[in-house]
Structure 1
Amino acid sequence: MPEPTTEASATESASARKHRAILAAAEEMFLRGGYLGTNMDELAALSQVSKQTVYKHFGSKEALFVELVTTMTDAAGDRVHNEVPDPAEAGDMPAYLRDYAERQLDVVMTPSLLQLRRLVIGEVGRFPELARALYESGPKRALTSLAAVFARLVERGMLSIDDPDVAASQFNWLVMAAPLNEAMLLGDEAVPDAGARRRHVTEAVRTFLAAYGPKD
């Protein structure tokens, strides 16, 4: 039988709903209009809360912007780095790496995340902590997670790697460099379709394993 809702839990739930509504409105407005183009009165109206409530939850426009960056990149990272069992044997390695790389590329090529990355780069001179938040939750998290996976696979003799951190960086940029640079500089229309991404990933994995596959 469900426990009765207390006044405290109801208040907390209402507060959490308001927090999520503000973040959703912030995502829409910041990505559409940029930092300077986002009006906090309009953001409060879109959130269906008072402006005072917005500042109660986030303290300032800048703090809201930083939390939006962190929240979006954390959520994107969760979609890539959720626990996936290590491959059972060396023969499974190509499929394992392709699956990881495709998930990573699919997430990074999401239009809203490309917009966020462009927005953060445009504001880095004004708010350097934004770039740090994006880096910590995005590339750094990806590299740290991947290096830990590679270290485990080296111990099992499934990869031949001297420095897992270096190998993680090389794998990451084999997968990400060309598609991300084109999408960032040429716009969303330059984002490769699913078939092109799969072909790109297959070649990236083949190149990586030629260098780091298990040695006889």
Structure 2
Amino acid sequence: MTNGAETRVRQSRAKILAAAEDVFLRHGFLGANMDAVADVAGVSKQTVYAHGKSKEALFIQVVESMTGDAAEDIGEDEEDDFAGVTAGQFFLDAGTQQLLVVMTPRLMRLRRLVIGEVERFPELGHSLYENGVKRSVARYARAVEHFDRIGELRCDDHAAAANHFNWLLMGAPTNSAMFLGDAGIPSNNALEAHAQESVRIFLAAFRSAS
């Protein structure tokens, strides 16, 4: 395949995934169909099937793409540079970034959709967990290990401390958005304030006495 052909295939796939995301988030899995995806994408149904094979396969692609993109936006796969950064500043910056990326109508609708379909597509719940909670906790665990090693934090179980921070940070805003819909998503100012309070509580529990 030539470079030009490869580029067209990538562009076509991106267009179809964007259209499928729109259709699935608006109508749910059962209410969506490939004709609607083709209409939104402005391509033939045959082209949609060429990329997605089936509605089920296309749904899985959409979920994996959205969760992967969110993880990339947060920077969870990158090695953090802790040089010259205090524990408080790291967790405040990382926590605020996570909230502002995740707490959006788009990703909260995806979360509700995946939870609603987890019995039909258990692999989607696994994907959401692997690309969401697991990556976040792993990143925070690396940070806890670093700040424990240099004496700024003190804890025996780095992963447990990271998990505590992640749920301090995400628990209340996520519950609000899940049960109340888009209207339950806090404002950016409220999310920033919540991140500050989460860090304060976390440091009160784990900051070194020295």
State TM-score, norm by structure 1. 0.90
- What residue is the counterpart of 2:81 in the other structure? 85
Distance 1:153 1:60 in 2: 48
Q: Deviations over 1:151-205 (max 9, x none)?
A: 2222222221211110111000111111110111012112221222222221111
Residue in 2 that maps onto 1:106: 100
> In structure 1, what is the equivalent of residue 11 of structure 2?
17
Query: Which stretches of structure 1, 4 residues or more, deviate above 4 A after TM superposition?
Result: none
| 2:147 is aligned with 1:128 | no
Give identity over the alignment, percent: 46
Task: Identify which of 56, 68, 71 aligns with 1:74.
Answer: 68
Query: What is the CA–CA distance in structure 2 between the aligned matches of 1:17 and 1:56, rounded to whole Å?
Result: 14
Give the corresponding residue for 2:163. 169
Which residue matches 2:193? 199
Q: Is the 8 A contact 2:104 2:185 kept in 1?
A: no
Question: Once superposed, what is the RMSD of the aligned Cα atoms?
Answer: 1.5
Aligned length: 208
1:137 to 104, 122, 131: 131
Stretches of structure 1 lacking an aligned partner (at least 5 in a row) = 1-6
For 1:162, the aligned partner's letter is: D
Match of 1:115 among 109, 133, 150: 109
Partners of 2:15 and 2:189 in 1: how far apart? Answer: 36
Q: Please give the secondary structure, in 1, of the residue aligned with 2:30.
A: coil
What secondary structure, in the 3-state scheme, does the structure 2 residue paired with 1:215 have? coil
**Alignment correspondent of 2:154:** 160
1:209 aligns with 2:165: no
The structure with more radius of gyration: 1
Q: Which residue of 1 aligns with 2:183?
A: 189
1:125 counterpart letter in structure 2: E
Distance 1:87 1:109 in 2: 29
What 5-or-longer segments of structure 2 have no aligned partner? Answer: none
Instruction: For 1:87 and 1:94, locate their aligned partners in 2 and report how far apart those are by CA, in whole Å.
Output: 13
TM-score of the superposed pair, with normalisation by structure 2: 0.93
